[in-house]
């Protein structure tokens, strides 16, 4: 178990985030050259460089205060502080490095620059800021669904009163529900970045890629948070195997283990968000490369039949947002249905236990159960839910 935690949550998550990091950066460089010219090749590198500095600051800002109820408070504080510092430094770098008009950008076609009215600084900083805010929003949302003391966790814990089956039902329903809100947040981030392009598809896709870079400015703190999980879990595992840790020490280790499970869930959510942004940006980079190759060959898009009437273009972020929201609806109604079954099943179990307690003859066969009460519960809950 200890080795598995190290492999899955340390090495595995680091590899996952590295892939998202590299893919997002490559897509941003390709689209940056097409949308911002020569400066578009440098700016996407500035953003993660700032992220490295803020990650170092974020680690040193992790200090437990006397007022903190759990270690999660200190971890959240360091994450949010590093995110705010990242946003401030990126804003400073953006308004220092990039010009205020597209006409001042080098390496772009004159006709392309003449049609653009968007401020390059506003587009770039707005996109990166969307990514940073998205990371913070996913942190808050995942924490709400997984932290000890929050309503979802308390509801799942309360369902254990009626047996393991209702615990599984309650846990699955909460998981489905949390996935819906995460998908909506990611879709909102993609669409918000898309709108910054001002109707120019290349700039919109570049904004999506920059949003991914902005999300990854906190990747250093994210990896540290993820590593906290296996460390606390292994500490508790070693303590249990030794049999020497009891009382207050065992309670502290259990609390840290619970916090570690929350941090692991948060990092997985952010990793999924970066993968979605990276995939969207790569779609755009791929289609842009094909269009440029076709034009260099002296052909047109229509000649090569690369666009067909009625085909759903997944390179358009608006279509991808619709697909994400549509897929999340399935999880929403599935979670609501399972949660309804869990509540009804719990009520039936409590009624059966109550009848066994009040009428001991039921188990001996000398009394008949009150079937009507159980039927009433099932009928009432099915109509209400």
275 in a domain, yes or no? yes
Res 22: pLDDT: 86
360 in a domain, yes or no? no
Spatial contact of 78 and 221, defined as CB atoms under 8 Å apart = yes
**pLDDT tens-place string over residues 146-194:** 888 888 888 899 888 888 888 999 999 999 988 899 999 999 999 999 8
**pLDDT tens-place string over residues 51-72:** 888 888 887 877 777 777 778 8
50 pLDDT band, cuts 50/70/90, is very high
Per 3-state DSSP, what percentage of the chain is helix, strand, and coil (rounded to 5)?
Answer: 80, 0, 20
367 in a domain, yes or no? no
Q: Helix 39-60 and helix 201-215: axis angle, to 10°?
A: 20
- Number of structural domains (the chain) is 1
Host H or E run for residue 65: none
Q: What is the pTM of this model?
A: 0.84
**pLDDT tens-place string over residues 217-252:** 888 888 888 888 888 888 888 887 887 777 777 788
Structure tokens at 240: 């249990």
355 in a domain, yes or no? no
Q: Say yes or no to pLDDT of 356 above 80.
A: yes
Res 359: pLDDT: 84
Taking residues 25-43, report their average pLDDT.
Answer: 88
336 in a domain, yes or no? no
Res 357: pLDDT: 86
What domain range includes position 111? Answer: 2-319
**pLDDT tens-place string over residues 276-320:** 888 888 887 787 777 777 777 776 655 545 555 556 677 677 888
Residue 190: name the closest of 24, 373, 3 by CA. Answer: 24
245 in a domain, yes or no? yes
Q: How much of the chain exceeds pLDDT 70, in percent? A: 95
What's the mean pLDDT when you consider all of the chain?
Answer: 84
CA atoms of 101 and 255, how far apart (whole Å): 53
89 in a domain, yes or no? yes
């Amino acid at each position: 178990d200890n080795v598995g935690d190290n492999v899955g949550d340390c090495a595995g998550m680091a590899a996952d985030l590295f892939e998202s990091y590299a893919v997002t950066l490559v897509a941003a460089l390709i689209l940056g050259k097409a949308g911002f010219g020569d400066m578009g090749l440098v700016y996407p590198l500035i953003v993660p460089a700032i992220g490295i500095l803020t990650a170092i600051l974020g680690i040193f800002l992790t200090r437990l205060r006397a007022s903190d109820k759990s270690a999660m408070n200190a971890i959240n504080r360091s994450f949010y502080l590093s995110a705010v510092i990242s946003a401030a430094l990126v804003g400073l770098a953006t308004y220092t490095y990039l010009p205020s008009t597209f006409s001042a950008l080098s390496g772009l076609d004159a006709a392309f620059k003449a049609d653009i009215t968007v401020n390059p600084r506003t587009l770039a900083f707005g996109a990166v800021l969307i990514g940073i805010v998205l990371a913070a929003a996913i942190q808050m949302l995942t924490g709400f669904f997984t932290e000890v003391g929050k309503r979802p966790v308390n509801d799942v814990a309360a369902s254990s009163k009626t047996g393991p089956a209702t615990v599984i039902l309650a846990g699955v329903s909460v998981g489905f529900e949390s996935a819906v809100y995460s998908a909506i947040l990611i879709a909102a981030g993609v669409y918000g970045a898309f709108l910054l392009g001002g109707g120019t598809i290349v700039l919109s896709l570049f904004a999506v890629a920059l949003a991914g870079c902005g999300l990854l400015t906190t990747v250093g703190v994210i990896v540290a948070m993820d590593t906290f999980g296996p460390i606390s879990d292994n500490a508790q595992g070693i303590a249990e195997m030794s049999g020497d840790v009891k009382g207050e020490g065992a309670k502290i280790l259990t609390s840290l283990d619970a916090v570690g499970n929350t941090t692991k869930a948060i990092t997985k959510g952010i990793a999924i968000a970066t993968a979605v942004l990276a995939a969207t940006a790569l779609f755009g980079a791929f289609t842009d490369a094909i269009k440029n190759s076709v034009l260099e060959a002296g052909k047109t898009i229509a000649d090569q039949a690369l666009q067909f009437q009625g085909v759903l273009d997944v390179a358009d972020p608006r279509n991808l947002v619709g697909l994400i929201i549509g897929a999340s609806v399935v999880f929403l109604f599935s979670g609501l249905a399972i949660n309804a079954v869990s509540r009804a099943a719990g009520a039936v179990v409590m009624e059966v236990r109550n009848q066994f307690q009040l009428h001991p003859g039921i188990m001996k066969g000398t009394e008949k159960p009150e079937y009507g009460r159980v039927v009433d519960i099932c009928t009432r809950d099915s109509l209400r839910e």
